[in-house]
Structure 1
Amino acid sequence: MSKKPLIIGVGGGSGSGKTTVVKHILSGIGRNNIQLIQHDSYYRDLGHLPLSERKKQNFDHPSSLETELMIRHVEALKNGYQVDVPVYDFAAHTRDEKTEKVTPKEIILLDGILIFTEPALREQMDIKLFVDTDDDVRLLRRIKRDIMERGRDLEGVMRQYENFVRPMHLEFVEPSKRYADIIIPRGGENHVALEMVIAMIREKLAQIKKNNLASEG
């Protein structure tokens, strides 16, 4: 591993296609070279509340995430240390007792809808990508994901979208687009943009390796 990893952030609204962009980067650069960390892993544990109360929480507000822990983890990885990333249960809204051991790699890839809203996290990133997709497409994707992957019903998904997802997107996510270095319209469907991103990452990685070799010499 190079001494200084390349930190890449992939942000964008819920259902924008961030996962597809992340998969494309993993495939294009090589999974062995990349350590993926998802902001969703850092949701705060709500085990102290009854399940009925947990479901009412605003999971799209920055305060719902322990971003300060993620920042410490990114800093540790940059310095070559292993970290224990939380494992979150999206059906129960609690953290698992077990954690995921994460080791540093040449590229640290950060993924999440709110990763550009916190300055201290944003400043860790060398490249910031924002995936920009129409609201109706994002809503349909979120419905499918929450029902199939997170054990929720349609009524609950729609209520959460109307009360929290959309207003929080307008207040926090959409304004954070201005911090992006590159905006990717249509997400994973924009193959031209994705190929340009892969080329840029390869170039940045090569430059970092060159600088590290020079410093060793």
Structure 2
Amino acid sequence: MKPLIIGFAGGSASGKSTICLKLKTLLEPYLSVTLINGDCYYKEKLPNTTAPFTGKLYVEYNHPDVMDFEAMDSAIIEEVKKNPDVILIEQAMLFCCEKIRNRLDGKVYVDCQADERLARRLKRNMEYGQDFEEILSYCLDSVRYRYDEFVAPTRWYADIILNGSSMPQNGTEMIAAWIQRKATEQKREKTSL
């Protein structure tokens, strides 16, 4: 039986990781769940990018070409071999890769307003020791531009668009119920063969 593979895309700090962790918690009493963090699959050598309006140079983290989608796909294949009931994969640009998109049984785009994503990113990255001005400049000069160019358009691939504002408790619980139902149906089909 093939695991149910669900992908989560959306802007940085939209709530993808939080939602996936919550889903894992909700599902694990009933199903085995593997979580793949797509941020582990950036290429080793990242190019610089020039911000379109300020001309400032930044390391490029927000273009699909900086993702090692082949390594991510190999990791998915390896996890499938371990035969969990469910695999959850999250990465902002996940739906940019057609090969991976085609592996997904469900695609969830986590939507969240830009101001809320910026506030979350500032809080998160400052906890990592980054400077407020540095984070703000990078987001305004590069992240939002690339979000509009590459991430936002992938919402059209989504089966579900989930509101990532605040804590999307109801939506997360609905997705958990759907995953549990689909995985249970798959198990039933396997045992009836």
TM-score category, normalised to shorter length: 0.7 to 0.9
Q: Which residue of 1 aligns with 2:14?
A: 16
What amino acid does structure 2 have at the position aligned with 1:201?
A: I
- Rounded to whole Å, the distance in 2 between the matches of 1:75 and 1:111 is 16
Count of residue pairs brought into register by the alignment: 184
Q: CA RMSD in A?
A: 2.2
Give the conservation status (yes or no) of the 8 Å contact 2:6–2:104.
yes
- Rounded to whole Å, the distance in 1 between the matches of 2:21 and 2:108 is 14
- Rounded to whole Å, the distance in 2 between the matches of 1:70 and 1:162 is 28
- Rounded to whole Å, the distance in 2 between the matches of 1:188 and 1:66 is 31
CA displacement at 1:191 relative to structure 2: 2.1
Q: Which residue of 1 aligns with 2:142?
A: 164
CA displacement at 1:188 relative to structure 2: 5.7
**Residues 112-154 of structure 1, C-alpha deviations (whole Å, 9 max, x = no match):** 10101111011111011111111100001011112213x3212
Give the conservation status (yes or no) of the 8 Å contact 1:18–1:187.
no
How do 1:1-217 residues align onto structure 2 when only pairs under 5 Å count?
3-30=1-28, 33-46=32-45, 56-78=58-80, 80=81, 103-149=82-128, 151-187=129-165, 189-214=167-192, 217=193
**Structure 1 residues 27, 188: closer, same or farther in 2, change over 3 A?**
farther
Q: Which residue of 2 aligns with 1:85?
A: none
> TM-score if structure 1 supplies the norm length?
0.78
Give the conservation status (yes or no) of the 8 Å contact 2:116–2:165.
no
CA displacement at 1:198 relative to structure 2: 1.1
- Rounded to whole Å, the distance in 1 between the matches of 2:38 and 2:74 is 13
CA displacement at 1:104 relative to structure 2: 4.5
- Rounded to whole Å, the distance in 1 between the matches of 2:62 and 2:163 is 22
CA displacement at 1:77 relative to structure 2: 2.5
| Structure 2 gap ranges (5+) | 49-56
Tell me the percent identity.
31
What amino acid does structure 2 have at the position aligned with 1:190?
A: P
**Structure 1 residues 188, 75: closer, same or farther in 2, change over 3 A?**
farther
